[in-house]
Amino acid sequence: GYGRRKGKEYEHYLYISRGSANESLDWYEKLKRLNYVSIDTFNQREKICEETRAMLTSMINKLEEKR
């Protein structure tokens, strides 16, 4: 995805990135349920994933507004 900075390809890359953030959060939830990560670690990673998703969603929305 590096270097995809404009057009439909960039927008598609943002959607894929947001999906990856969602998938990461899902894996952290599984790890927490299985007690492979502490609650503190989970909370920290969850916050990062949510912030990343919010940034990606904002970027996607801005691109969609321009159309």
> What does the domain layout of the chain look like in residue ranges?
7-66
Within the chain, residue ranges assigned H as helices are: 7-33, 39-66
Q: What is the pTM of this model?
A: 0.81
Determine how many CB atoms are found less than 10 A away from the CB of residue 1.
Answer: 11
pLDDT per residue over 27-65, tens digit each? 999 999 999 999 999 999 999 999 999 999 999 999 888
Predicted local confidence at residue 67, as pLDDT: 73
Residue 25 near residue 49, CB atoms below 8 Å: yes
Place of tokens 């970027």: 59
